[in-house]
Structure 1
């Protein structure tokens, strides 16, 4: 996946989804350095939490921690928009803005093509979707953003987080989904 600044491609090989713990992940849109710095901090905090408490941090706790960190730096902010997702007793998904505003939702999008992705998500999301149906919808939403927004990077990275844990889909799996759209 590529990272852009305006109409310039800054990097052609950037990861935008990061595993934080066994059932936790962060996706970020914005300044790559800020995103990576926050990822390092959250990974350290989740390891400390596990050592102190003896279990994995919940998705809501990670989202709240992220929101608190971002709110504490709002006058010298992390330039990014963050999606926190994972699985504890059930799947959970949060959006956290650069000032620490936190929202829980069934689907979220961030980045320059988010309007295009939201159009697909709002039109096609259903409460009773399976994980595979949700993955297909996410791929369709991102693919739509790639096609319609000149500032959206190319490439689609998909991660499934279920009771069994975190799993990144390989390029062949994503390409197979794209062929069905």
Structure 2
């Protein structure tokens, strides 16, 4: 029952993910952070099989950090999305593929614009203005399609996200009770309260 949402606005990307760690019908943890900070201006929300998600997220985090150490500058969001896509595609063709869905958001300092990428477990990637993964996407994507404004200020973007979270809580049978929300913009990454 994992859900994650992301949307772009005027100079920012908002990413939200539920904080529940569950297996079958058992809720094991309610404060799991499913949004990995890959750099000062790069975030990744992950969902999927519990072991795969954590292992792949840490693999991505370490390799992007290694790239920055070797080259003295961080990967831009489009390059990070391409590298992640290639890694997922390679694992898909191995004996132990990762079953991970990702939302990658970042602020490109070279072009001064936000980027958001939807990546699935098959290694498909597409740049989008808004995205969702999990059961919550059935309810949130129509709201995001109607209310998303790419030129909206941060407060308006957070209001749109809140509308999505409320709809999921209202309609989904086993809806998550708590979400972690992070914003990335020209100033970097920060957590916000909804």
- Using structure 2 for the length normalisation, give the TM-score: 0.81
Which residue pairs with 1:74 in the alignment?
92
User: CA distance change for structure 1 residues 160 and 87 in 2, over 3 Å: closer, same or farther?
Assistant: same
Question: Is 1:51 matched with 2:84?
Answer: no
Which residue pairs with 1:113 in the alignment?
136
Would you say the 8 A contact 2:46–2:57 is kept in 1? Answer: no
Question: Is 1:123 matched with 2:146?
Answer: yes
Could you list the per-position Cα deviations for residues 49-105 of structure 1 after superposition, in whole angstroms to 9, with x for gaps in the alignment? 112221111111111111111111114322221000010131000011101000100
Gaps of 5+ in 1: 175-181
Correspondence list, 1:1-181, <5 A: 1-5=19-23, 7-75=25-93, 76-88=96-108, 89-169=112-192, 173-174=193-194
Which structure has more helix as a fraction of its residues? 1
Aligned pair count?
Answer: 171
User: CA distance change for structure 1 residues 102 and 167 in 2, over 3 Å: closer, same or farther?
Assistant: same
In 2, Cα distance between equivalents of 1:72 and 1:157: 30
- Aligned CA RMSD, in angstroms, stands at 1.6
Gaps of 5+ in 2: 1-18
- Using structure 1 for the length normalisation, give the TM-score: 0.87
The structure whose RCO (Cα within 8 Å, separation 6+) is larger is 2
Runs of 4+ in 1 over 6 A off after TM superposition: none
